Structure 1
Amino acid sequence: MADKRKIGVLGGGQLGRMLIEAANRLNIQVNVLDAAASSAKQISAHDGHIDGSFKDAADVKRLAKDCDIVTVEIEHVDTHMLEEVAGEVQVEPSWKTLRIIKDKFAQKEYLKEHGVPVADSIDLDGKGVEGLKEVGKQFAYPFMLKSKTEAYDGRGNFAVKCVDDVSKAKEVLGDRPLYAERWADFRLELAVMVVKTKDGVLTFPTVETVHEDSVCKLTYTPPRNVSKAIGEKAQELAKKAIGAFEGKGVFGVEMFLLKDDTLLVNEIAPRPHNSGHYTIEACPLSQYDAHLRAILDLPIPQSGLRLREPAIMLNILGGQTPDSHEKIAQAALEHPNASIHLYGKGEARPGRKMGHITVTAPTLAAAEREMQPLIDLVDSQKGKPLGPRDDTESQKPEPLVAVIMGSDSDLPVLRPGLALLEHLAIPFTVRITSAHRTPDWLRTFSKAAASTSVKVIIGAAGGAAHLPGMCASWTTLPVIGLPVKATHLDGVDSLYSMTQMPRGEPVATVGINNSVNAALLAVRILGAEDLGVRERLRVWMEGNETEVLGKDGKLAEVGWEAYLKAMGK
């Protein structure tokens, strides 16, 4: 690349480290302001780094002097100095945005002013214990007591569950500037990484985040038990929130999914974020690639932010021994789909983020099965007892093929195809839905199928056989029609019905009663993107070849008459 602009980063932790990994691939120099030998500096050998503090005004000025663009990997920076240097160097995102976001109460008030739903909050500036008790009367218990600044990973937060907790909360949080927030009774925590460019706002997919002791432990992409519509709603809300701020770059938007399926924005990070680590392996562009491109005004196609396949990210938190993270990384080497990131932080301390592991797989269930032993190991390193776990559901593979039929009388015809899917280890689901007797159910099923794990639909029907055709009109998934021989016309009517679909609504139709070919066609469609499926199909096909060659040899050996006699014919 011809781009020789230098980027200065305030902060040299793991986020800066992964940003440099992305920058190195583009030959872009990143100058880091942080302590010597910080995580980011370890993988970047040049003399442009500055040893110092990103909270020190003089150090910030020194960094800006030798850079074309200054950005952050942590928001707790000296925004007044950034305001001062903004006339000499490009600051992304804007110092105004950083100043608002670093004060979490100001952040909430700003979002409210711009029509973004957030939990109700009360400023507690100048209010003591009695002021907290008044909050309890107004919000009821429990409510959250939060520090306005310098709070992360749950530090600076306190759940006030009853009036007796008030004094303790004040004692724990000390003289920090505080605000109170109404309790959000959520069922899930979601997050969306947003990319703000000179041309507009883009998003990565919606992610489910799982926290333990107020620290992010896991992310699931796509979220579990969340509809496609809610995922899209979360993305739109995140775009609206970030659209209200000045500047370019990647932002993390954390939100609550309430029990009535409404969404509240919880917090915003004006930088790459823990909930976006999965993008390194699971998306064409990572959040770090996107941040660099956004602040440099380089192209970012929305398709580059898509999810290639489901992913789970597990944070490696420090355990009870200094080498606990290394033991987890060593174990992860045994898992073929696990990508390991260690942050170069030296010895582990309990709860410290030492690295992360991302597992990608064709289905979320497959990723869960591979990740579970590593989750157990992380828990054991923390001294957490592992009790009995009923993981029957989590171990059950998500279906890749949906087999639907108009009547249970079609099931005997489907049996050979279903047996073949089982033999080839293709998870499937079988349902009864009639185009004529249950049209609403067929419509609901077909419209929802693409937002599930299902990749292919087989529709079996006799007579008028409208089932696969109607299904195809309501889904973007490939539909395979299986004509079933009925009492009249020997199934020819069903065959014609399925093959004579109008232009624009294709149904890939196999022969009458030929469920084996329907199953094989579904397997070949899956095998186009899953090498494991393709390999199992290859082995099965070789078995067919061996069987036919064996029969040919027998025929040549005994002659046609003896062969027929052995067949009982």
Structure 2
Amino acid sequence: MFNSPVVGLLGGGQLGRMLMESANRLNIQMNVLDSENAPAKQISGHDGHVTGSFKDRASLRELAATCDVLTAEIEHVDTYALEEVAPRVKVEPSWRSIRIIQDKFMQKEHLAKFKIPQAEYRELEYNSRDELAKIGEELGYPLMLKSKTLAYDGRGNFKVKSKADIPVALEALEDRPLYAEKWAYFKMELAVIVVKTKDDVLSFPTVETVQEDSICKLVYAPARNISSSIDNKAQELARNAVAAFEGKGVFGVEMFLLEDDSLLLCELASRIHNSGHYTIEACSLSQFDAHLRAILDLPIPPSSLNIREPAIMLNILGGSNPDSHLKVADRALSVPNATVHLYSKGDARPGRKMGHITVTAPTMHEAEATMQPLIDFMDGKTQTSKPQSSIASSRATIGVIMGSDSDLKTLVPGLKILKDFGIEPEVEITSAHRTPEYMAEYASTAAARGIKVIIAAAGGAAHLPGMAAAHTSLPVIGVPVKGSPLDGVDSLYSIVQMPRGVPVATVGINNSTNAALLAARILGAFDPAVKKKVEAYAEEAKDVNLNVKGTKMRELGWEKYFEQMQS
């Protein structure tokens, strides 16, 4: 490698700064075109940088004259200037790709040629009310009105809920080239970082992104509550989309996961991406390492893109005070396994990305528990504030529901076991008959809240476990409750005799102990800490049976032992 080429970078913001950190570790000189005190320049002290705008043609020519390879941390560059210098310096990815991608309508048209699944869309030729009203009739409401160019972090987008919103939408995006997109009813937003090399198209695992006011707030790596099949399909979709473009480097691909588990591509970025920041701590090679290696034709072992342990990335967004981001960073310094990245961008402004925090842990559950206090602190919440709804606020992994509070005494033994295991369940009263809407909402939203298993106790007709299973793909464990004239046998039959296609695991009558242990075993298949506690419980039961009770019976004899049992 090493007489390495000089890399020229258009843009020296936070993405350029993190790319510079990777370049510095490999002794790669990177010359940055941006303002004098840009964040990337602050950590690279040499005379090769260029002061100016990455949109200015003369400045770009000056940078190109000092470099072997040109790349960009932002799409909004002058691609005609890149086309001009391309005969003399390599441009990665290709200026043709950047030109297509920076115009989101042109991007969608290009991807459509390769049959990449996307939401329906229509171009506005005149930006007139009648034109948009006609599109609204074709696509239906709501729809998203989007600017073709210079749109990011929700800027340049406007949700049109009905025909009445058309005038204000067109006024908000006045003088922009526009297109409209059919609203995607998604249950989760996903993203995949793709690495295009001279020989291959590779991808990092699928992550879940959470947006707030159209700005990425959180990234969960890997994505929570998706199957390996969806993970693979998302990566395949992302790789296929990137393969449609020329050039090498990292691309960020965002997509929607719909209710039927199908995927729609949202948009694609020809650069390192906010959804990939977690890779710095969670993977052997970060997206920044991978980008440099790709554009310089250096080796990228595919396994180095795997996630070593779960991670959550929280963007530090500026608040109303100029130092709001520093207060969040200070709080994060006391959090174990939290890494703080500040971007040195000066004073904070509302919504401005000032840094990010990444938390890693052996399990996603542990990472969530570690990160949540930081999320609450950034959101201005206090530990004493009470959630409005347990459905909206719970961070439990096991949900325990009962049709009536009279079922609680049956559930107490199991709840105590979960507590001993360090699992704090989400406990609710909801009836399949008396509160059917709430029961349906609870079950259908459980996975999105992080619930992995539902325990449902019911007596009599005992429809609660089956109805919960009908509204979720999570495993449901039914606990038949004794108390009816048939001593719970009716409840047992009602739960165990579910029709094909809607499975419910069923334990013995009133046996919440087994329900709790089964739920813990399910969690333990993916969480080593829980697995150890289940194994310890089983070992203790074995010891009591063999060494405590067995020894006592041998010493006393069975008759005396039985007498003591009856006393």
Q: What is the TM-score normalised by the length of structure 2? A: 0.71
Distance in 1 (CA, whole Å) between partners of 2:347 and 2:381 is: 14
Name the residue aligned to 1:169. Answer: 169
Q: Does the CA-based 8 Å contact 1:13-1:38 persist in structure 2?
A: yes
- Counterpart of 2:346, as a letter, is G
User: CA-to-partner distance for each residue in 1:183-232, whole Å, 9 max, x for gaps?
Assistant: 11111110000000011100000011100100001011121221111011
How much has 1:247 moved relative to structure 2?
Answer: 0.2
Name the residue aligned to 1:66. Answer: 66
Relative distance call for 1:239 and 1:386 in structure 2 (3 A) is farther
Distance in 1 (CA, whole Å) between partners of 2:3 and 2:220 is: 36
Name the residue aligned to 1:139. Answer: 139
Name the residue aligned to 1:324. Answer: 324
Name the residue aligned to 1:237. Answer: 237
How much has 1:426 moved relative to structure 2?
Answer: 9.2
How much has 1:3 moved relative to structure 2?
Answer: 3.0
Relative distance call for 1:46 and 1:180 in structure 2 (3 A) is same
Distance in 1 (CA, whole Å) between partners of 2:115 and 2:190 is: 19
Name the residue aligned to 2:77. Answer: 77
Matches within 5 A, 1:57-456: 57-380=57-380, 387-388=387-388, 390=390, 395-396=395-396
Q: Does the CA-based 8 Å contact 2:127-2:178 persist in structure 1?
A: no
User: CA-to-partner distance for each residue in 1:372-413, whole Å, 9 max, x for gaps?
Assistant: 11111111189xx984453799544589xxxxxxxxxxxxxx
Name the residue aligned to 1:5. Answer: 5
Distance in 2 (CA, whole Å) between partners of 1:170 and 1:361 is: 46
Distance in 2 (CA, whole Å) between partners of 1:258 and 1:377 is: 31
Identity score, percent: 59
Matches within 5 A, 1:18-37: 18-37=18-37
Distance in 2 (CA, whole Å) between partners of 1:118 and 1:189 is: 14
- Counterpart of 2:168, as a letter, is K
Distance in 2 (CA, whole Å) between partners of 1:422 and 1:158 is: 47
How much has 1:273 moved relative to structure 2?
Answer: 0.4
User: CA-to-partner distance for each residue in 1:149-191, whole Å, 9 max, x for gaps?
Assistant: 0000000000011111111011000100111111111111100
Distance in 2 (CA, whole Å) between partners of 1:427 and 1:320 is: 36
- Counterpart of 1:189, as a letter, is E
What are structure 1's unaligned runs of at least 5 residues? 400-414, 429-451, 455-521, 545-563
Q: Does the CA-based 8 Å contact 1:380-1:386 persist in structure 2?
A: no
Distance in 2 (CA, whole Å) between partners of 1:529 and 1:5 is: 45
Relative distance call for 1:375 and 1:88 in structure 2 (3 A) is same
Q: Does the CA-based 8 Å contact 2:387-2:393 persist in structure 1?
A: no
Distance in 2 (CA, whole Å) between partners of 1:335 and 1:392 is: 25
Distance in 1 (CA, whole Å) between partners of 2:46 and 2:201 is: 34
Relative distance call for 1:147 and 1:393 in structure 2 (3 A) is closer
Aligned length: 436
Relative distance call for 1:30 and 1:389 in structure 2 (3 A) is farther
How much has 1:423 moved relative to structure 2?
Answer: 6.9
- Counterpart of 1:308, as a letter, is R
Distance in 2 (CA, whole Å) between partners of 1:381 and 1:397 is: 22
Distance in 2 (CA, whole Å) between partners of 1:275 and 1:341 is: 15
How much has 1:39 moved relative to structure 2?
Answer: 1.0
Distance in 2 (CA, whole Å) between partners of 1:394 and 1:285 is: 34
Relative distance call for 1:318 and 1:262 in structure 2 (3 A) is same
Distance in 1 (CA, whole Å) between partners of 2:125 and 2:393 is: 49
Distance in 2 (CA, whole Å) between partners of 1:391 and 1:68 is: 55
CA-based RMSD: 3.5
Task: Classify the secondary structure of the residue corresponding to 2:76.
Answer: coil
User: CA-to-partner distance for each residue in 1:12-41, whole Å, 9 max, x for gaps?
Assistant: 110000000111110101111111111111
- Counterpart of 1:107, as a letter, is Q
Distance in 2 (CA, whole Å) between partners of 1:55 and 1:133 is: 36
Q: Does the CA-based 8 Å contact 2:249-2:290 persist in structure 1?
A: yes
How much has 1:102 moved relative to structure 2?
Answer: 0.3
Name the residue aligned to 1:469. Answer: none
Distance in 2 (CA, whole Å) between partners of 1:125 and 1:73 is: 31
How much has 1:127 moved relative to structure 2?
Answer: 3.8
- Counterpart of 1:284, as a letter, is S
Relative distance call for 1:133 and 1:397 in structure 2 (3 A) is closer
Q: Does the CA-based 8 Å contact 1:363-1:398 persist in structure 2?
A: no
Distance in 2 (CA, whole Å) between partners of 1:226 and 1:52 is: 45
Task: Classify the secondary structure of the residue corresponding to 1:144.
Answer: strand
Task: Classify the secondary structure of the residue corresponding to 1:205.
Answer: coil
Relative distance call for 1:393 and 1:327 in structure 2 (3 A) is closer
Q: Does the CA-based 8 Å contact 2:397-2:451 persist in structure 1?
A: no
Relative distance call for 1:320 and 1:453 in structure 2 (3 A) is closer
Distance in 1 (CA, whole Å) between partners of 2:172 and 2:391 is: 38
Relative distance call for 1:238 and 1:374 in structure 2 (3 A) is same
Distance in 1 (CA, whole Å) between partners of 2:81 and 2:288 is: 25
- Counterpart of 1:98, as a letter, is I
Relative distance call for 1:106 and 1:386 in structure 2 (3 A) is farther
How much has 1:130 moved relative to structure 2?
Answer: 1.4
Task: Classify the secondary structure of the residue corresponding to 1:164.
Answer: helix
